Amino acid sequence: MAKIEPHGHVTVLAALSPVHAGFPSPAQDYFDGSIDLNEHLIADPVATFIIRVAGDSMIGAGISDGDEVIVDRSLRPAEGNVVIAVVEGELTIKRLRLGAAGPELHPENPDYPVIRVSPGQELSIWGVVTRCLHRV
Protein backbone atom coordinates (compact mmCIF):
# COMPACT_ATOMS: atom_id res chain seq x y z
CA MET A 1 0.00 0.00 0.00
CA ALA A 2 1.04 3.60 -0.55
CA LYS A 3 2.27 5.71 2.32
CA ILE A 4 -0.27 8.43 3.16
CA GLU A 5 0.85 11.58 4.89
CA PRO A 6 -1.02 14.75 5.86
CA HIS A 7 0.26 17.90 4.15
CA GLY A 8 2.83 20.15 5.76
CA HIS A 9 3.34 23.90 5.67
CA VAL A 10 5.71 24.87 2.85
CA THR A 11 6.89 28.38 2.00
CA VAL A 12 9.31 29.11 -0.86
CA LEU A 13 10.91 32.17 -2.44
CA ALA A 14 8.96 33.79 -5.28
CA ALA A 15 10.49 35.32 -8.40
CA LEU A 16 9.18 38.64 -9.69
CA SER A 17 8.96 37.49 -13.30
CA PRO A 18 8.44 34.19 -15.10
CA VAL A 19 11.43 32.07 -16.10
CA HIS A 20 12.15 31.96 -19.81
CA ALA A 21 12.57 28.59 -21.48
CA GLY A 22 14.55 30.20 -24.31
CA PHE A 23 17.43 32.62 -23.75
CA PRO A 24 17.77 33.92 -20.18
CA SER A 25 17.65 37.60 -19.30
CA PRO A 26 20.54 38.66 -17.01
CA ALA A 27 18.50 41.66 -15.83
CA GLN A 28 15.92 39.43 -14.10
CA ASP A 29 17.92 37.82 -11.32
CA TYR A 30 16.05 38.95 -8.22
CA PHE A 31 13.31 37.59 -5.96
CA ASP A 32 10.25 39.17 -4.38
CA GLY A 33 9.54 37.62 -0.98
CA SER A 34 7.96 34.21 -0.66
CA ILE A 35 4.76 32.33 -1.45
CA ASP A 36 2.91 29.71 0.56
CA LEU A 37 2.52 26.56 -1.56
CA ASN A 38 -0.42 25.49 0.59
CA GLU A 39 -2.41 28.46 -0.66
CA HIS A 40 -1.72 27.54 -4.30
CA LEU A 41 -1.96 23.75 -4.17
CA ILE A 42 -4.42 22.87 -1.41
CA ALA A 43 -8.08 23.90 -1.29
CA ASP A 44 -9.09 21.95 1.84
CA PRO A 45 -6.12 21.38 4.18
CA VAL A 46 -8.02 19.08 6.56
CA ALA A 47 -9.03 16.68 3.74
CA THR A 48 -5.81 16.83 1.70
CA PHE A 49 -3.02 14.24 1.63
CA ILE A 50 0.06 13.51 -0.44
CA ILE A 51 0.56 9.97 -1.73
CA ARG A 52 3.63 8.60 -3.54
CA VAL A 53 2.82 6.68 -6.73
CA ALA A 54 4.35 3.27 -7.38
CA GLY A 55 4.16 1.89 -10.92
CA ASP A 56 3.60 3.20 -14.42
CA SER A 57 -0.10 2.58 -15.09
CA MET A 58 -0.82 6.35 -15.25
CA ILE A 59 2.06 7.57 -17.45
CA GLY A 60 -0.38 8.74 -20.13
CA ALA A 61 -1.80 11.20 -17.59
CA GLY A 62 1.68 12.52 -16.78
CA ILE A 63 1.90 10.59 -13.51
CA SER A 64 5.09 8.53 -13.21
CA ASP A 65 6.54 6.01 -10.78
CA GLY A 66 7.84 7.90 -7.73
CA ASP A 67 5.73 11.03 -8.27
CA GLU A 68 3.67 12.39 -5.40
CA VAL A 69 0.04 13.28 -5.98
CA ILE A 70 -2.06 15.69 -3.96
CA VAL A 71 -5.38 14.06 -3.07
CA ASP A 72 -8.45 15.94 -1.83
CA ARG A 73 -10.90 13.68 0.00
CA SER A 74 -13.53 16.45 0.23
CA LEU A 75 -14.15 16.51 -3.53
CA ARG A 76 -16.98 14.47 -5.02
CA PRO A 77 -15.54 12.08 -7.64
CA ALA A 78 -16.83 12.73 -11.15
CA GLU A 79 -16.53 11.17 -14.59
CA GLY A 80 -12.97 11.49 -15.87
CA ASN A 81 -11.34 12.39 -12.54
CA VAL A 82 -8.08 10.73 -11.60
CA VAL A 83 -8.87 9.11 -8.27
CA ILE A 84 -7.35 7.07 -5.51
CA ALA A 85 -9.60 4.04 -5.20
CA VAL A 86 -9.67 1.14 -2.80
CA VAL A 87 -10.41 -2.11 -4.63
CA GLU A 88 -10.69 -5.20 -2.47
CA GLY A 89 -8.62 -3.47 0.22
CA GLU A 90 -5.80 -2.25 -2.06
CA LEU A 91 -5.12 1.38 -3.05
CA THR A 92 -4.81 2.18 -6.75
CA ILE A 93 -4.66 5.36 -8.83
CA LYS A 94 -6.79 5.34 -11.99
CA ARG A 95 -9.14 7.48 -14.08
CA LEU A 96 -12.78 7.07 -13.05
CA ARG A 97 -15.27 6.22 -15.80
CA LEU A 98 -18.97 5.90 -15.03
CA GLY A 99 -20.29 3.41 -17.58
CA ALA A 100 -23.78 1.97 -17.93
CA ALA A 101 -22.59 -1.23 -16.22
CA GLY A 102 -21.18 0.71 -13.25
CA PRO A 103 -17.92 2.44 -12.33
CA GLU A 104 -14.69 1.46 -14.07
CA LEU A 105 -11.12 2.38 -13.22
CA HIS A 106 -9.06 3.09 -16.34
CA PRO A 107 -5.27 3.09 -16.48
CA GLU A 108 -3.46 5.59 -18.70
CA ASN A 109 -1.11 2.94 -20.05
CA PRO A 110 -2.28 0.33 -22.60
CA ASP A 111 -0.17 -2.36 -20.85
CA TYR A 112 -2.68 -2.43 -17.97
CA PRO A 113 -6.29 -3.67 -17.94
CA VAL A 114 -9.37 -1.65 -17.08
CA ILE A 115 -10.68 -2.54 -13.63
CA ARG A 116 -14.37 -3.32 -13.98
CA VAL A 117 -16.14 -3.56 -10.67
CA SER A 118 -18.21 -6.72 -10.38
CA PRO A 119 -21.37 -6.91 -8.26
CA GLY A 120 -20.30 -7.71 -4.72
CA GLN A 121 -16.73 -6.51 -5.29
CA GLU A 122 -15.53 -3.94 -2.75
CA LEU A 123 -14.79 -0.49 -4.24
CA SER A 124 -14.56 2.91 -2.62
CA ILE A 125 -13.20 6.15 -3.99
CA TRP A 126 -10.78 7.42 -1.37
CA GLY A 127 -10.11 10.82 -2.93
CA VAL A 128 -9.68 12.92 -6.08
CA VAL A 129 -6.19 13.73 -7.36
CA THR A 130 -5.80 17.49 -7.82
CA ARG A 131 -2.06 17.84 -8.59
CA CYS A 132 0.96 15.74 -9.48
CA LEU A 133 4.35 16.67 -8.07
CA HIS A 134 6.77 15.38 -10.68
CA ARG A 135 10.52 15.30 -10.07
CA VAL A 136 12.78 16.57 -12.85
Task: Tell me the catalytic residues.
Answer: 57, 94
Separation CA 93–CA 86 (nearest Å): 9
What whole-number distance in Å separates Cα of residue 98 and Cα of residue 96?
Answer: 7
How many whole angstroms separate alpha carbon 71 and alpha carbon 90?
Answer: 16
| Alpha carbons 2 and 63: distance in angstroms, whole number | 15
Q: Do residues 66 and 53 touch, judged by C-beta distance below 8 A?
A: yes
